[in-house]
Amino acid sequence: MTYLDHAATTPMLPEARDALVAALGEHGNPSSLHASGRRARRAVEESRERIAAAIGCRPSEVIFTSGGTESDNLAVKGIFWSRRDADPARTRVLTSAIEHHAILDTVEWLTEHERAAGEFLPVDAYGRLTVDTLQGALAERADRVAVISVQWANNEVGTVQPIPELAELAHQHGIPFHTDAVQAVAQVAVDPTLVDALTLTGHKLGGPVGVGALVLGRQVAATPVQHGGGQERDVRSGTLDTAGIVSFSVAVDAAVRSQPERTARVRALRDDLIARVRDLVPDAILNGDPTDRLPGNAHFSFPGCEGDALLMLLDAAGVECSTGSACSAGVAEPSHVLVAMGADPARARSSLRFSLGHTSVPADVDALVKALPGAVERSRRATGG
């Protein structure tokens, strides 16, 4: 099989896999006081320091979680509750209309159950939230905003957001700014000191599934989402996955250190893929920012096709990728990202995401361009497109 779905999850790096296997041979709860517990605690704290050194934050700001979804929930809910409790007028939660559902659904839940005023800000045709748009949202009642959350880079179309400028604008109004950077860390330069809270996760950068972190500034108050033993600054209780954390830290360190070289190699493959797809399917539409996008992302709409059908045809031909549409209760829905960017439902349902990563090679692109024309033709015949 040819794997072109690294944005969903990327294979573990060999060094992260070796670290996981070795750590699984140890035992001990890092909250225990005996020798085995102290050994586990030392492994956790060394991992915390390794991650902090790799991404450029303080070790005390790294809060371990089960992954991106938990980190997003903890950041948005925790900061909202803390700010609203301090000032009941602070009920506004601002985010973009193209966020991952870990953010969108969290904001919707706060709106329905916690009297939040969730606002989903529009993006431009490239999927970019502009500074002017955020400025407009803050022009009135900025003092009622509890938190702003904007992803560093979009998980579907790959557009990189102007996070430094957006965060600076938020800070001018004294508003905490969170970013979901699970797609960005290890692909583009990410500086956690620019924001108040940042989400990252292991399986997007060569680590294991089920472990991630929220980088939470020491000055940022966040009400816990779950309660228990008071681990992780009393913000995220729960017994820590020592082996997963060790492997995660090794993956973060290796991925960030190799980012410049890997980015150049993957971008060249991605550009070749885009050029060859356009040559084979001239009416294919490249979605997202044509230049300021994740190096491994190529997201296309194929007019006259159904994305789900096209995905299965490619899968049958040995090429694994991802559709841009989400499936809810068995009913295919147009991609909310493309709809927010101005695409009509037909275009939104005809999209596929090809994402490359550290194991990608030129033969992967060759396999796609070999299988794609036949799959597009069959899909169009089936739909009458």
**Residues assigned a catalytic role:** 327
- Cα 116 from Cα 144, distance rounded (Å): 10
Strands 319-320 and 2-3: parallel
- Cα 103 from Cα 106, distance rounded (Å): 5
DSSP output for 16-83? HHHHHHHHHT----TT--SHHHHHHHHHHHHHHHHHHHHHTS-GGGEEEESSHHHHHHHHHHHHHHHH
Please check whether residue 16 is in contact with residue 207, taking contact to mean a CB–CB distance below 8 angstroms: yes
Torsion, CA 235, CA 236, CA 238, CA 244, rounded to 10: -130
Q: Which residues pair with 216 in a beta bridge?
A: 197
